[in-house]
Amino acid sequence: MSTDAKNNTALMEKIVSLCKRRGFIFQSSEIYGGCGGVWDYGPLGAELKRNLRTAWWNAMTRDREDVLGLDASILMNPAIWKASGHVETFADLMRECSLTNKRVRADHVDPQDGVIMNYTGAEAATGWKLDRVISVLMKKSEHIESFRKRVRLLIASNAGEAAGKPEEIVLLGEAKADAVERSVDYHPETGGALGPARPFNLMLKTYLGPTATEDDVTYLRPETAQAIFAQFKNVFDASRVKVPFGICQIGKAFRNEVTPKNFTFRSREFEQMELEFFIKPDEAIEIISGEVAAWSEGADLSEPQANWGWDLWHRYWVDQRTKFYEGIGLGGVLEYYWQTPEDLAHYARACVDILCHFPFGTEELEGIAARGSFDLTAHQNASGKSQEVFDEELKVAAAKLTDEQKEAMIQKRLAAEQSKVKGAPMPEADVRAWFERLFKGNYVPHVIEPSAGLDRMALAIIANAYEETEKTDEKGKKEVITVLKLHPRVAPIKVGVFPLLKNKPELVAKAREVYALLKRHMNVFYDETASIGRRYARQDEVGTPFGITIDFDTLGEKGPELLDTVTLRHRDGGEQERVKISDLLGKLLAQVS
């Protein structure tokens, strides 16, 4: 492991430890040995997530006129998952270790060097037998005896009680095969030879109804998006909106990730924050506006325009989401991966992954996809319920087109279908039928989907806020201080309130007064124990951006001009200012909301 990798692993361990120690994130079911890939948020983690949810909800719907909220159920009719393609294709390609049956994602196997050892089988004094060939990669640095011990241990833990103790297992027919370099055919943890890649569906199955048979099977939703598509028509009809508009929701999603890893980054239960922004097909824009605006470097994306097609809407949402991340303190650590035509699903026109720096690498935080009309069309076909909208403006504009102009549009689309890189071209009859509906003002909306993970966002926020500094105390003793430089908007505690001394009732009473004044508006922490420096340090460690100290000046002991003023300390930089109690609320609210 390189020094950088070691440092990053150590950093991640410190972050995990801080999260547990200070009540951000705990292992689920810890007292029973945990529950793989599932995490619980403690008091501070719950506040952090709540602040992130609120920031997202406000940015995506409350502060806008064109996006509506939804709160759909986790369990849905399984027909939804058939129509969406999840039953058929929501799978990772997995390979199984021939030694332990442990699975690993085919694309998560890093190349390894070593020597291959083959065994014809294994047996134990208990009478247990393993009657098949096993191949294991022995690392170059590994000693043969410790390697054999390791293999026996793996076999024993896989076989369970039947095999007895690992040291009683005898490995049969040992033969050394060739050395291999950069091989991806051995399990990264066990070294066992990997079988062929096979799809493994990630949806968590459950039963809904009394019989618990295949008839009652449904799934815990693997994404929140499908409920938005399934409720599209209800929201549209109930809200009297016009395309373009969006529907967003926040909620739990479940995936049976085979290799949950990197703390909460890849979990089996997690929360998504998704927007489906419905737009007109480009052909409708062309009919109404005469042309579809083309994007060029530096184009103004701040105000949506009537002549925007999917490309500009997609870029607009990438820009909006970037601004959101800047507003919660993640602006400087983002990267963008524009998927290539080979990466894209056959129906997708573009997809950008917003990546963020984590100690374990630069990884996806959010995906923003232009998905055409794939989803609504799939539900229309499967349910038999029309997902079309009617657009009077389009109908009027189309009525002014000549037959030649209409035919030219059809020919342009037919040519585009023929030059598709992926997926079968739409048959000509279907293209003509689609245009016939379009010219009458009817179409199934297309969609832009910004899809973010709340748990990943929380982890990104904590990991990027984590800082260590060395400080020397009054006695000259050096110590490492941890500071979480959380943005005030997302910090779980906004301000700490501290009476200078706890045994002076006048100070305590004033501090309690300040605490009560602020508490109704933000999460405030009152602390009267330990030295003031210690109290500041405790709050720095959990990212509290402000500290208020009530001292003798507050009581007016140094003169009436300081009466009812407090010391406001800023976590970042540590500067302190004298502020009137009556000005505190306004000053703080401006920074934390």
Which residues are near ligand GAP by CB under 6 A? Answer: 223, 225, 255, 257, 266-267, 270, 272, 274, 364-367, 451-453, 455-456
Do residues 569 and 549 touch, judged by C-beta distance below 8 A?
yes
Q: Which amino acid is at 337?
A: Y
Nearer to ligand GAP, 8 or 256 (CB): 256
Nearer to ligand GAP, 365 or 581 (CB): 365
**Cβ at position 267, least distance to ligand GAP in Å:** 4
Integer angstrom CA distances of residue 150 from 169, 189, 205: 11, 11, 35
| 343 HSE (CA, 13 A, CB side) | 10
Where does residue 219 rank: exposed (0-12), middle (13-18), buried (19+ CB within 10 A)?
A: buried
Nearer to ligand GAP, 224 or 549 (CB): 224
Phi/psi of residue 563, nearest 5 degrees: -55, 135
The residue sitting closest to ligand GAP, measured at its beta carbon, is: 453
Taking each helix axis from N to C end, the angle separating 505-519 and 581-592, rounded to the nearest 10 degrees, works out to 40
Where does residue 461 rank: exposed (0-12), middle (13-18), buried (19+ CB within 10 A)?
A: buried
Start-to-end C-alpha separation, the chain: 43
**Cβ at position 354, least distance to ligand GAP in Å:** 8
Q: Is 283 helix (H, G, I), strand (E, B) or coil?
A: helix
Nearer to ligand GAP, 273 or 500 (CB): 273
Nearer to ligand GAP, 452 or 511 (CB): 452
**Cβ at position 377, least distance to ligand GAP in Å:** 16
**Cβ at position 190, least distance to ligand GAP in Å:** 23
**Cβ at position 164, least distance to ligand GAP in Å:** 37
**Cβ at position 260, least distance to ligand GAP in Å:** 7
Instruction: Report CA torsion sign: 58, 61, 62, 63.
Output: positive
Nearer to ligand GAP, 374 or 439 (CB): 374
**Cβ at position 340, least distance to ligand GAP in Å:** 16
Where does residue 83 rank: exposed (0-12), middle (13-18), buried (19+ CB within 10 A)?
A: buried
- Furthest-apart CA pair in the chain: how many Å? 92
Q: Tell me the β-bridge partners of 250.
A: 273
Tokens at residue 13, please? 């361990």
Nearer to ligand GAP, 155 or 225 (CB): 225
**Cβ at position 295, least distance to ligand GAP in Å:** 23
Nearer to ligand GAP, 159 or 459 (CB): 459
Nearer to ligand GAP, 289 or 451 (CB): 451
Integer angstrom CA distances of residue 367 from 112, 121, 133, 351, 364: 31, 46, 43, 7, 7
**Cβ at position 95, least distance to ligand GAP in Å:** 19
